[in-house]
Amino acid sequence: MSDTSGPVSERSREFDVLLEVVRAYSHGIKPIFSSEGLAGLRWQYLAVMAAYHNVGVLAFEVLTELPHLCPADVLLDWQLLARVHSARVLALRAQLRLLENAFRQQGIPLLVMKGPAIARFYRQPSLRAYGDLDLLVQPEDVSRARSVLINTGFCTTESEHTMKSRMYLTLASEAGFFSKNTGVCVDLHWSLDYPLNRYRHIFGLAQKSKIEEGLTMLSFPVEMTLVLYLFNGWRDHWRSLSLSVDIAQILERCPNIDWNRVFELASELHIERIVLLGLEVVRRTTRIVLPSEASRRILQEHTIERLASTAFDQVALRLPDVGLALPYHAAISWYAQSRDSLWDSLSQIWYMSCAPKLEDWEKLPLPSFFLMCTWSLLTKPFPIVGKALARRVMGSPRLLPSDQACPYAKWTVHDVINAGNKELSRALKVASQNP
C-alpha cells in the first residue's frame, strides 16, 4: 500500500502542521517541530483550520506542550476556544443524564450515538468536540420520545400528527429538537442513513456501555461502532480530520477487536468496500498500523487506493462546501465506485437521483409508490441532466490549492466561537472563491 498522502507541494504548511499534530495525538507522542520549521506560520489560519476540522481543542492540548514554539497570544486565543468547548460539553453531558433518566422512567429504550459514544474511546474524552446529542429510538417509540423531549423543555417544528405518520417515519430518519433554556440541540433518530436503514435489527445489537463516569447507556458494541463510523466518514467524503482521529482512537483503545465480526457486519450491510476504504483513509491520515487481515483485503481491492487518495486530496486541497463536499457528478461517482457490487452501485445512484425524499412528500403528499412514479421519477432526473450538460459546456469549477485560496486569513478564533458550523462553512467557501 502506498504511503503517499497527497501532493505535498500543493498543500499549505499550516495543513501539514495540523496533520502532524493529529498524527502525534493518534500515536500518543509529542510532535517534533523546530523553530525554523514554524517560522512565518499563519497561526490564526492554523487555529481556524483546526476548528473547522473539529480538532481545535485537541490541537490546543498538543501545542500547549510546546509553548516555546507557539506564540503566547495564539495560545491565549486557543485557551478561550477550549474553555467555550468545555462549557458546551458540560452542558451536553448534563442534558444527556437528564434525558437518560426521563426516557428510562417512561420505559423507552434510548441509544446514544456519535459525540459522547465516541468520546469514551479517547485517552482524554474532553478533547472530543461535539455540538449536539444524537439519540436513537425504535420507530414504534418515536411519538412517545417526542413527548418526553417536549416535556423536558425541548421544542421542534414537527407536529405530533406528522411524527406519527407512517410516510414521515419511512422517508425521514431523524427530527431536530432545541432547548431554549440550555441551548442544547438533540437529533432524535429512529433509522440510520441509506443503505443501513435496510438493516431492521440494528437496535437489537445495542448493549449497555459506560459512556462516562456514573452514566451507563445503550450503545453499539465496538465492532458495530467501528463499522458505523467508517460508514459516516464515507458518507461525508472523509472531509474532516476528526473523522480519522475518531477511528484511530477506537483502534488504539480496543486492540482486541473481533475483525471477523467487523467484516461479517460489513458484508451483511453491503458496505465491505466502504469499510476497507475508510480504514485505508485513516491509515493515510494518522499513519496507524492496520491489522493484517484488513491490510490483506485492502490490497485485493484495486480501486481502494485510488479512492483513498482522492479522499485525502479533497481534505488537503479543497474546502468543504455547505452540505455536499463534491459536485453532484463527482459525488455520484464516489458513492457508486465505493459500493460492493454493480447492483449496490445502481441502487445508490437510484437512491440519490430518483428515490422520494421527505421534502418531496411535503410538496406532494402522496403514498410512496405514487410519489415515486410522479414527482420523483418525472422531475428529479431533469435538473441532474441539465446540470451535467451545463458543466460539460462551461467546464468544472476551478479547484484552488489551499495556499492560493487562503480562506482563513481574515478569521480569528473569536470569529469561530461566534459562528455556527454552517456560517463558518459559507465564510470559507466565499473566501476561497475570492483569493
**Ordered strands of the 207-212 beta sheet:** 154-155, 174-179, 185-189, 133-136, 111-113, 215-219, 207-212
Position 168 pLDDT exceeds 90 = no
Return the C-alpha cell found at 84. 467555550
**Which of 403 and 25 is assigned the larger pLDDT?**
25
Mean pLDDT over residues 19-48, rounded? 82
List the chain domain ranges. Answer: 8-327+397-432, 328-395
Position 350 pLDDT exceeds 50 = yes
Hey, what CATH class is 8-327+397-432 in?
Answer: alpha beta
**Which of 3 and 226 is assigned the larger pLDDT?**
226
What is the band of 371 on the pLDDT scale with cuts at 50, 70, 90? low
* pLDDT tens digits along 280-335: 999 999 999 999 889 999 988 888 888 888 888 777 765 433 333 456 667 777 88
Strand positions, DSSP E, 284-343 = none
Burial of 124 (0-12, 13-18, 19+ CB in 10 A): exposed
pLDDT value at residue 365:
54
Q: How far is CA 86 from CA 91, 92, 93, 130, in A?
A: 9, 10, 10, 10
CB 324 within 8 A of CB 292: no
pTM: 0.80
* pLDDT tens digits along 333-345: 788 888 888 888 8
* pLDDT tens digits along 77-126: 778 777 777 778 888 888 999 999 999 999 999 999 988 999 999 988 88
Cα separation, 391 vs 394, whole angstroms: 5
DSSP string, 204-239: GG-EEEEEETTEEEEE--HHHHHHHHHHHHHHTTT-
